Amino acid sequence: MNLDGHFDSFERNPTVYLLKAGVVVAILVAGVATTSWLLGWGAETAQVVREEFGPREALRKYTWLKEAAAQLDKKVADIKIYESRLQTLNDAYPGVPRGKWARDDREQWSVWSSELAGIKASYNQLAAEYNAKMAEVNWSFAEVGKLPPGATTPLPRDYKPYMDK
């Protein structure tokens, strides 16, 4: 390859060659900057994935869901106990309006009714939180049918219906 012709044209018009070289350098710098920016995004994305879907975080989330499910089951059992207590009091006074019950029985009925309402409200709060978390993509791995065979027991998708009476 003969470079003499190129040197001659450079000597005649160096500005054109310097412009071409400047454009090439600018393209290279832009390419390097773009690549490093994309790699930075890629690294951050990998970090977020690791934080949200990593084994430690999955175990933490699964543990929270298991504990919430156990608490919800306990609340259902407590609700049945309170309903049974209230029914026992009602059965002690068949056909008698509550205003004519013995005072201590009326007071006890009111206390148990209030406690029952509180447990139902607590159940609804925890069920709503459980359902919201299970609907998120980074929590739904624990849903029934999504765990690999042999994995720990899957959890129900949601706890509904809410207690409304």
**38-83 confidence digits (pLDDT tens):** 777 667 777 787 887 788 888 888 889 889 989 999 999 999 999 9
Distance CA 79, CA 36 (A): 59
Residue 120 has pLDDT above 60, yes or no: yes
Distance CA 121, CA 124 (A): 5
This prediction's pTM: 0.64
User: What proportion of the chain, given as a percentage, has pLDDT over 70?
Assistant: 74
Using the Cα atoms of residue 123, residue 71, residue 143 and residue 56 in order, give the sign of their dihedral.
positive
pLDDT at 71: 94
Q: Looking at residue 93, what DSSP letter applies?
A: S
Distances (CA, A) of 76 to 10, 122, 129: 88, 11, 16
Residue 16 has pLDDT above 60, yes or no: yes
Question: What residue type is assigned to position 148 of the chain?
Answer: P
**What DSSP line would sit under 135-152, residue for residue?**
HSTTTGGGBTTTSPTTSS
Query: 61 exposed, middle or buried (CB, 10 Å; 0-12, 13-18, 19+)?
Result: buried
The ranges assigned to domains in the chain are 4-48, 55-142
Confidence band (pLDDT; 50, 70, 90) for 121?
very high
